[in-house]
Structure 1
Amino acid sequence: MLENRKWVIIGIFCLVGLTYLARLFYLQVLDDTYSLGASKNSIKRVVEIPYRGQIYDRNNQLIVYNTPVYDLYVTPKQVRIPDTSAFCRMMNISVSDFDSIMGLAKNYSPVKPSLFLRQLSKEDFARIQDALVDYRGFEPVISSMRTYPAHTLSNALGYVSEISKKQLDSQDILYYRQGDYIGHNGLEEQYEEQLRGRRGVKFMMQNVHGVNKGSWKNGAYDTLAVAGQNLITGIDVDVQKYADSLMQNKVGAVLAVEPATGEILVSVSAPTYDPNLLSSRFFSKNYRALLRNPYKPLINRPVMSSYRPGSTFKLIQALIAQQQGSLLPTTVYGHAGSPMRCHCRGGNNLRGAVQNSCNPYFYYVFRKFLYFNGEHNTFKASAIGLKQWHDMAEKFGIGSKLGVDLPSEKKGNLPTPEYYDKAYGGTLRWKFSNVYSLSIGEGELLISPLKLVNLAATIANRGWFITPHYIKGFGKAGAGLPAEYLERHETGIDYKYYLPVIDGMRGAVAHGTVTPLANIAGIDLCGKTGTSQNNKFGHKFDHSIFIGFAPMNNPKIAVAVFVENAGWGGKAAASVAALVAERYLKRKTEAKKLEEQVMASNYMPPISGLPVSKKPAPVSPKKDTTQHKPAPVPKPLMTDTKAKPVVAAVLRGN
């Protein structure tokens, strides 16, 4: 009995021993969890940032590329600096800057590396490289900086800068770390995911002094960085730079699109700035200077600014009234009985009214449209008619976001009956006499240059448009193009109704409201002028507008131009548009006299505090100064998306 107990006890001890041996074998041979944990102090995880995708124009000219630079990181606990003053002189920073940077680094973590100096050029790094050996705790990391060889398109491109704390905290999927770069505004933000690529990770062995001893486990756990995709845009950079030059000493916007595809060819926001200013270690200083600039160069006017469209909106009035049946191409209206005066003679048909931008004509067109529903109560008729007017105009992309591939598009304002019900304190309290300023694109209408260039493209296509967009593809034209930029949007207006309107637009350029020099031979430009009200400096400083396309048949380019404070639409804006169209179609400029006039024009508004007299007065030979009472229009804010109700306004054509 005792002998049996002895063997049982021995068996138990043997079993326990075998269990320990098996567990020890598993931990030391099969499982590397503890090995990895023990290696943390000797293995350094190095994140490899991929090269950001480059950006090209439609002709494969480089717009944005990456320049190699060095970021200098510091680990505060390891820092040993025998002479701070000498170190600061070498780094070309002040002692106070050094103290501030080190304070931020210590607050972040005494033992983790954080950014000390960003974007040192190869020359700057070569100058300090040997001396850095004497200063422990500093480590250079190769990086890249966005470079803009064309020095243009700054507002549309956006910029790349350090990620903000708010963006870090709001990440759905953790990807970015403190100090990482991210696209802000423009195409850099819109296509951030494609441009940024995919980062890689390397595990490096290091000794107790932090000296690298090679790759850990021969790179078995390393992942390679994948460069971002190159973005091909529809921009024609040569025409873009030419349009920039035409908008010197002017405030406004120039947009051009290819009607058949919706690709944006030119996108100018004036005044602009060199995008390289926001792509350097002096980003904060340069950004603050641009932010303080009274002419607001950081605003991307083509998509963010809202203006009254003025007489350019008469084109929509003509189209929807024909479709409704309340207007025929042969319909003639005179000036009698209209509260709006005009620079042209009365008795125009539709073609003549578009050609001469006749205010009374479109006053009567709009009135008949609103009362065409047969309702005898004028209040109800106005509400019913305005609802139909809104729904038909909305199909041209007015009053809502078009969906351009930029993150900052504003929708503008296309008033509804509900809008006026609220403004006038209830239904049946307003009628046509309260809203007739809409007939010539004034009042509560607010439209961006993007919407108007889309209108020009829609008329060029005789009834449809593709949403304007900057992207042409990733890597090559057509590759990865989002489906929404292939879809045709129909306006619901029959093809035949566009023909008399286009005839009138051609007549406006050939012998109508456009300055004769802008009728450039060989491009067959069709267009419509507009003068948008702006009471800030008085009527002679109204905004100059032009939209059009060329050539008349099989159009290749549609263009919209806004020149703030430049007066008559047929002069400043039409001249810029004609020169842009000529340069795109002919690849050269033959209208030298017109070009000389445009280059010499200065329409910069006076800065607050300076007398208005210092602003050169624009030439407005065809401006109409007629009023209908009782009150002036409130001045439009450049970036307004809401308009206050206007009972009466100063109205004019062009």
Structure 2
Amino acid sequence: MAERKWYIVGGFTLIFILYAVILLNIQVFSSDYKRQANANMVDRIVEYPLRGMIYDRDGRILVNNAPVFDVMVTPKQLHLNEEDTVLLCQLFEMERVEFRDRLQKIAADKYSWYKPNLFLKQLTKMEYAKIQDQLIRYKGFEVVPKTIREYPHTSLANALGYIKEVSKSFLDKDTTEYYGQGDLIGKVGVEYFYEKELRGKRGVSYVMKNVKGQTKGKFRSGEFDTLPEVGMDLVSSIDLELQQYAELLMQNKRGAVVAIEPSTGEILTMLSAPSYDPNLLTGEGRRVSRNYVKLNDDPDKPLFNRAMQSRYPPGSTFKTVMSLIGMQEGVLDTTYTRFPCAGEPVKCHDHPSPLSIAGAVQNSCNPWYYKAIRKIMLQHKDPDPNKDLKMNMDHWQKMVKEFGLGRKLGIDLPYEKGGLIPNAAYYDRAYNGRQWKISNVYSISIGQGEILAMPIQLANLAATIANRGYYYTPHIIKDIGGAGPKEQYSEKNVVNIKRDYFDYVARAMSGVKTARLAMIPDIAICGKTGTAQNPHGKDHSIFMAFAPLDKPKIAIAVYVENAGFGGTWAAPIASLIMEKYIRGEISEPRKWIEKRMLEADLMEKKETPKVAKAH
């Protein structure tokens, strides 16, 4: 009997301990229970600020916030008969099955019965206007206003970027703990790079609710509430009129244009052609997802920013760099250096011979630069010819990189590529340890072979020559909330080459012979054409320039893919953009050139997917 008694006591003791452990876990260790209990009393509501707006350099709006409207439904308040269902389906332009499915899905969660739930997402102003007068007749439905990004102009899509709802994978990695499910974030372009400045600061309000989720008023009279702070407005350096004009000239062409103000590094124009309407990627939902997939699958790659991501050979524009390095190294002389053009080891076009450095720049003589690279690379700094070549190659690469080539410039846009300037180690790897000679690297002297650069790097090169030896890192935002640009964009980058040599090359560029269509009456255009070999088709047409010769206002680079000679297409397009910027209009004698550029179709026709219409 005593033994049985102890069994009963032990059993009750175990039950007591088990309940104690469960209660301890629920009340002390379990945050879920605590959170759910608090939710019955206080609900924390995040109030989202308006995102900062983006303007062009003259105050014209490039990106603003447009109102949209979410339709919410509270199941407990709904009392619909058959006739109501039919009318609402007509109002929402929705099939009855879809209407019922949406309501049933919301009502399936018992906690959703007493609070508003999302029924329809992001109606436009026009869509809301169609339903607002009739929707107020149905208890249980309400409309909540929100904002999305809107682009009054269809320009600058690749540079401005877009915003998108954060993904689960992003939230899993987010260490800032700022974002939550359903939040929007900049994905590319300015929207991404300046996300922190544009997003503003959230506000928070606390409201009392009962167990059914019904609001009963402010918690402690709003003592702990904070107001949202609107995001900072950004002023871009873009000249919208010039941007739109450049986009017109690049219609039906593939390529890129970048124009820079040399004295500041501010980007006046940046375009990648073909582009797209940025409004196609505003908002959320299936329409935007469909549009993104179709744009991403488009063979013309409209989402790809050619201006800062396409690694093209710079072609003959690189001859300016070779001339400057040769003079700085003392192996090329402005007075005495003369090389004949014998058409070896590569053929050349008809021009005077022999040529000075200025003549080589102006006539773009390939054999001349094949001779120049021998002077630069074989300076006999070491008795061993192989070591001498490698030593000079590494020194040459270091000098080239000072121009901002072969590395990222550090512009204020994401996903910038760095180009390629080879060194001795690069060729050691390429030849797998076998010995290589000067004859293996001749082509880099004319911007071919292994050299690759982006259009923005060539525009920056033009700005560097225009400034006679320095540049400011190109940037697209000149003012952040009234405080100016980021600090690094006000720092001068100096190239270690004498100013006199830059002035010599600048003046040589003002007499370029290979771009007659680029000449502007009464404005000294300093340019260099390029025709980059393309293993996948017709050569690319390139032009790099600045104007005027003294006190330059604009530096530019234009690439037109598969268009042939630089002087035929890229040069006239660049000169029209420069004239438009300097004069405000195109002079009458050059109207025929403008007409020819506007009407030219240099694209092979490809099947392009259709995209849903932007609202």
User: Aligning the two structures, in what range does the TM-score lie when normalised by the shorter sequence?
Assistant: 0.7 to 0.9
Residue identity opposite 2:602 in structure 1: Y
Alignment of 1:534-545 (within 5 A): 534-537=534-537, 541-545=538-542
CA distance in 1, matches of 2:63, 2:313: 34
1:452 is aligned to 458
Partner secondary structure for residue 545 of structure 1: strand
2:252 is aligned to 249
1:176 is aligned to 179
Inter-CA distance 37–378: structure 2 relative to 1 (3 Å threshold): closer
Number of residues of Structure 1 aligned to a counterpart in Structure 2 = 565
CA distance in 1, matches of 2:292, 2:349: 46
1:366 is aligned to 373
1:323 is aligned to 328
Offset, 1:71: 2.7
Residue pair 2:111, 2:212 contacting (<8 A) in 1 also: no
Offset, 1:114: 6.5
1:467 is aligned to 473
Kindly indicate whether residue 393 of structure 2 is the aligned counterpart of residue 386 of structure 1.
yes
Residue pair 2:163, 2:191 contacting (<8 A) in 1 also: yes
1:233 is aligned to 236
Partner secondary structure for residue 327 of structure 2: helix
Offset, 1:492: 0.3
Residue identity opposite 1:552 in structure 2: L
Partner secondary structure for residue 528 of structure 1: strand
Cα deviation per residue 1:224-280 (whole Å; 9 max; x = unaligned)?
A: 011000001111111011111000000000000111110000001100111111114
Cα deviation per residue 1:596-649 (whole Å; 9 max; x = unaligned)?
A: 11101111135389xxxxxxxxxxxxxxxxxxxxxxxxxxxxxxxxxxxxxxxx
Partner secondary structure for residue 510 of structure 2: helix
Offset, 1:382: 2.0
Residue pair 1:399, 1:414 contacting (<8 A) in 2 also: yes
2:295 is aligned to 290
1:554 is aligned to 551
2:342 is aligned to 336
Deviates more, 1:447-456 or 1:499-508: 499-508
Offset, 1:219: 2.1
Choose the corresponding residue for 1:269, options 263, 267, 272. 272
CA distance in 1, matches of 2:607, 2:68: 41
Inter-CA distance 213–110: structure 2 relative to 1 (3 Å threshold): closer
Kindly indicate whether residue 60 of structure 2 is the aligned counterpart of residue 53 of structure 1.
no
CA distance in 2, matches of 1:325, 1:585: 37
Cα deviation per residue 1:520-543 (whole Å; 9 max; x = unaligned)?
A: 113311100000111223xxx210
1:482 is aligned to 486
Residue pair 1:344, 1:356 contacting (<8 A) in 2 also: no
Residue pair 1:319, 1:498 contacting (<8 A) in 2 also: yes
2:61 is aligned to 62
Residue pair 2:157, 2:277 contacting (<8 A) in 1 also: yes
Offset, 1:399: 1.0
Inter-CA distance 554–131: structure 2 relative to 1 (3 Å threshold): same
CA distance in 1, matches of 2:160, 2:177: 25
Alignment of 1:147-186 (within 5 A): 147-186=150-189
Alignment of 1:191-210 (within 5 A): 191-205=194-208
1:600 is aligned to 599
State the TM-score, normalizing by the size of structure 2: 0.86
State the TM-score, normalizing by the size of structure 1: 0.81
1:223 is aligned to 226
Partner secondary structure for residue 566 of structure 1: coil
1:565 is aligned to 562
Cα deviation per residue 1:433-459 (whole Å; 9 max; x = unaligned)?
A: 111110100011111111111100000
1:436 is aligned to 442
Offset, 1:576: 0.9
CA distance in 1, matches of 2:432, 2:192: 42
2:29 is aligned to none
Offset, 1:181: 1.0
Partner secondary structure for residue 601 of structure 2: coil
CA distance in 1, matches of 2:522, 2:545: 15
Residue identity opposite 1:431 in structure 2: K
CA distance in 2, matches of 1:434, 1:109: 75
Offset, 1:564: 0.3
Kindly indicate whether residue 303 of structure 2 is the aligned counterpart of residue 303 of structure 1.
no
Residue identity opposite 1:151 in structure 2: T
2:360 is aligned to 353
Residue pair 1:333, 1:348 contacting (<8 A) in 2 also: yes
Cα deviation per residue 1:399-448 (whole Å; 9 max; x = unaligned)?
A: 11110001110111111111110110116x10111111101000111111
Partner secondary structure for residue 297 of structure 1: coil
Offset, 1:118: 2.8
Partner secondary structure for residue 118 of structure 1: strand
Q: Please give the root-mean-square deviation of Cα atoms over the aligned residues, in Å.
A: 2.8
Residue identity opposite 2:153 in structure 1: A
Partner secondary structure for residue 410 of structure 1: coil
1:519 is aligned to 519
Residue pair 2:541, 2:563 contacting (<8 A) in 1 also: yes
CA distance in 2, matches of 1:426, 1:100: 68
2:317 is aligned to 312
Offset, 1:74: 6.1
Partner secondary structure for residue 469 of structure 1: coil
Alignment of 1:19-34 (within 5 A): none
Offset, 1:46: 2.6
Offset, 1:142: 2.0
Offset, 1:151: 1.6
Offset, 1:43: 4.3
1:497 is aligned to 501
CA distance in 1, matches of 2:222, 2:232: 26
Residue identity opposite 2:561 in structure 1: E
CA distance in 1, matches of 2:419, 2:543: 18
CA distance in 2, matches of 1:596, 1:172: 54
Residue identity opposite 2:501 in structure 1: Y
CA distance in 2, matches of 1:480, 1:503: 34
Deviates more, 1:365-374 or 1:115-124: 115-124
Inter-CA distance 608–92: structure 2 relative to 1 (3 Å threshold): closer
2:430 is aligned to 423
1:506 is aligned to 510
Residue identity opposite 1:91 in structure 2: F
Inter-CA distance 190–222: structure 2 relative to 1 (3 Å threshold): same
CA distance in 2, matches of 1:318, 1:291: 41
Residue identity opposite 1:593 in structure 2: W
Residue pair 1:523, 1:585 contacting (<8 A) in 2 also: no
Partner secondary structure for residue 225 of structure 2: coil
Offset, 1:468: 0.3
Residue identity opposite 1:229 in structure 2: M
2:612 is aligned to none
Offset, 1:298: 0.3
Choose the corresponding residue for 2:582, options 575, 578, 585. 585
1:533 is aligned to 533
Cα deviation per residue 1:352-385 (whole Å; 9 max; x = unaligned)?
A: 1101101011111111100013435432222122
> Which stretches in structure 2 are left out of the alignment for 5+ residues?
1-33, 609-615
2:22 is aligned to none
Cα deviation per residue 1:77-112 (whole Å; 9 max; x = unaligned)?
A: 998876677655433345676688789979999648
2:13 is aligned to none
